[in-house]
Each structure stands twice: as C-alpha cells, then as structure tokens.
Amino acid sequence: MGRVTSLDDLPLRDDLRGLTPYGAPQAPLPVALNVNENTHPVPEAVVSDILDDVALALSDVNRYPDREFTGLREAFAGYLGHELAPEQIWAGNGSNEVLQHILQAFAGPGRTVFGFGPTYSMYPLLTRGTGATWVAGTREDDYTITAEDAAAQVAAADPDVVLLCTPNNPTGTPLGLDVVEAVYEAARGIVVVDEAYQEFAPKDAASALTLLAGRPRLAISRTMSKAFAFAGARVGYLAADPAFIDALRLVRLPYHLSALTQAAATAALRSADVMLAMVDEIVEQRDRISATLEALGYTPHPSWSNFVLFGGVEKPQELWQALYDRGVLIRDVGIPNHLRVSAGTEAETTAFLDALASIGSAS
C-alpha cells in the first residue's frame, strides 16, 4: 500500500488547493501577546462555581446535551440586555463556528462574502472553507470607513453576506453605527456585525444590538474568549431575528454544544460582573502600550480592542525576531511596516515594553 506524502496525492477540492490553514505562531515563550487572548486567569471564586456546575453536568454526561442549549441562551439574553429573548440567541464552539454556521446557511458555492480589508484573517478562510468566494473591500489609510463609501462598495460588490468587524481586528478601529445602517440598506443579503471586542470599547459606545429591531437580515456576533477570559472553553454566540436562528439550525451538527461547555459558560455568565472586572485593567495596559510606543517613535493606531496595531516598523520580521529572542511573542499580521501586540497583565506589558526599549526606538 502506497503512502500518502502530500495533499497533491489526495482528491482535495480544487478550490482548496494552494490554501494554507490558520497559522498564528505557537511558542512556549514567557510572554505570549500574539493572539489577543485575555491573559488574566479566571478568578478563583468563579473557577469554583464553574467546577460545581461542570461536576453536576458530568453526572448526566451519558445522555446527549440539551440540543437547544436553553439555559445558556437565556443567560446570554440576560447578559446582552436590549430586551432580547432567548429565541433570538445562537451559540457555538467559539465565534468562528457561529460565523461558519452563518456562511453554511447563507453563502456556499456560487455565492460571495464581503468584508473591508484588512480585517479578521479567518473571514476568507471560513468563506473558502464553505465553498464561497471572498471579496475584499477597502478602507481609508487610517483604517476607518465612511457610511457613504461603505454603502457604495457593498452595492457594487452585491455580496450574499457582509462581515463587519468592529472594533476591527487587526487594526482596533471602531465602526460607526451609521456605517452598519448604510451597509444594511445597500445589501440584499445577510449583514453580520462581529463585536468580539465590544467589551473593550468605551463604556458609552453603542452596540449594533441597538439596530436589530426590524432588520431580519442583521446578526450581531460576540465571543466569551476575550473579555471573559474563556478562550480555551470555545464559546461564541450571536443575536438575530428568530427566523435567522432557525436558518442556522439547518446546518449545525446535532448536539454541537457539549453539556460541559453549556454548564461552564452559564456559570461564567452568572459571574459576569466579576469576570469583566479585569477589562478596565486591560484597557489601562492597552493605553499604556500606545503611549509608550509613541514615545519610542512608533505609530500606534487608535484601538477600541484589547490590542494595539503599530506602524513605523522599518523591518517587522527583524523586530518580531528580536522580541522573540527576548521571550516576548507578538504578531506580524502581514500589514507592511506594522506589528500587533495584545495588552496583557501589567507584568506582561512591562516585559514587552522593556524588551522593545532595549532594542531601540523606531527613529
């Protein structure tokens, strides 16, 4: 029997040939600030509550979980507010799976998905993985988008699905609600607002959740990975019209959310005030990073997220490697003369800034 040695030896889908999988570097360095994790551990009191609920779920783990994850949907509706009902909530194993469900239901072969680049690197991968075609729009030089320009680009592209990331990854740029409204009016298909980093925005910043009423083609996606420090638990969710939720049921796998996941997430949501207490510290470290980067001659972009994209990097790969050699892992996101760093704990942030200063200023 011959041994398969490469993808070329397999009957892979033609539209997947030549693609590369998601590949954020993983390295056992002391300070990892490259994938926008919340580096703060879950508070011990919350860990104890989660363990109690998971233990209870384990006693019945021989049975399939609640396919409709009823209790978790009620908890998400309560957390989000805006008079949302549980039937307007969907959840999955991370927001990537939630987005995949949307594309499986509304995109697919012969259809197009549109987003304003640069934006979240998983959007094109999810699009191509579901057989659809990715179409990239453009932003201003400072990564902002006006409502007029956004609507014009969407109207010209005429996509089946529009993905709007706000605050945007990897730039941290917020998107005005007027842009969301304009895009919705210009689009004939689905519009998804990805608010994965919304908890790090200014407290008075309005969420696109305020736009849901009367817009059945609109969905607002969130995650527990960032503000809730739940990246390893893999829990994402969205709010939309109940009919939109019905569409996602057509493509989800049976019992896709385990009983243990449901129990852990529900327990964490009960302690939302404790879990979110760390957000203020992360924002403080983010702003500290921006101020120090500027003092060192770099160009940090305004950020409403838990990370900072900074320009003025003459040789990004060399700077990335120099930081790596000093035990600090950040991210090269492929934007010329830019790198991105997540805001960590005070100690991690200090380690990054000290390492950067030891290398020398941008000028």
Residues 324-350: tens digit of each pLDDT: 999 999 999 999 999 999 999 999 999
Predicted confidence (pLDDT) at residue 4 exceeds the cutoff of 90: no
Tally the C-alpha atoms within 13 A of residue 260's C-alpha that lie toward its C-beta.
Answer: 9
Confidence band for 360, pLDDT divided at 50, 70 and 90: confident
**Per-residue confidence (pLDDT) for residue 362, from 0 to 100:** 72
- What torsion do the CA atoms of 21, 133, 163, 98 make, to the nearest 10 degrees? -60
- Give the CATH number of domain 23-41+277-359; options: 3.90.1150.10, 3.40.50.170, 1.20.200.10, 3.40.640.10: 3.90.1150.10
Plot region of 87 (φ>0 → left; ψ -120 to 50 → alpha; else → beta):
alpha
44 by Cβ neighbours in 10 Å (0-12 / 13-18 / 19+) ranks as exposed
**Per-residue confidence (pLDDT) for residue 39, from 0 to 100:** 95
**Per-residue confidence (pLDDT) for residue 22, from 0 to 100:** 82
Predicted confidence (pLDDT) at residue 1 exceeds the cutoff of 60: no
Q: What percent of the chain has pLDDT over 90?
A: 91
Strand-strand pairing, 299-300 and 328-329? unpaired
**Per-residue confidence (pLDDT) for residue 285, from 0 to 100:** 98
225-254 pLDDT, tens digit per residue, is 999 999 999 999 999 999 999 999 999 999
23-51 pLDDT, tens digit per residue, is 777 778 999 999 999 999 999 999 999 99
Return the closest-CA partner of residue 303 out of 320, 284, 316: 284
269-319 pLDDT, tens digit per residue, is 999 999 999 999 999 999 999 999 999 999 999 999 999 999 999 999 999
DSSP string, 37-97: ---SPPPHHHHHHHHHHHHHHHTTTTSPP-TT-HHHHHHHHHHH-TT--GGGEEEESSHHH
165-221 pLDDT, tens digit per residue, is 999 999 999 999 999 999 999 999 999 999 999 999 999 999 999 999 999 999 999
CATH architecture assignment, domain 44-270 = 3-Layer(aba) Sandwich (3.40)
Domain residue extents for the chain? 23-41+277-359, 44-270
**Per-residue confidence (pLDDT) for residue 363, from 0 to 100:** 61
**Per-residue confidence (pLDDT) for residue 361, from 0 to 100:** 75
**8-state DSSP, 337:** T
Predicted confidence (pLDDT) at residue 100 exceeds the cutoff of 70: yes
**Per-residue confidence (pLDDT) for residue 255, from 0 to 100:** 96
- What torsion do the CA atoms of 312, 314, 319, 321 make, to the nearest 10 degrees? 140
131 by Cβ neighbours in 10 Å (0-12 / 13-18 / 19+) ranks as middle
Confidence band for 20, pLDDT divided at 50, 70 and 90: confident
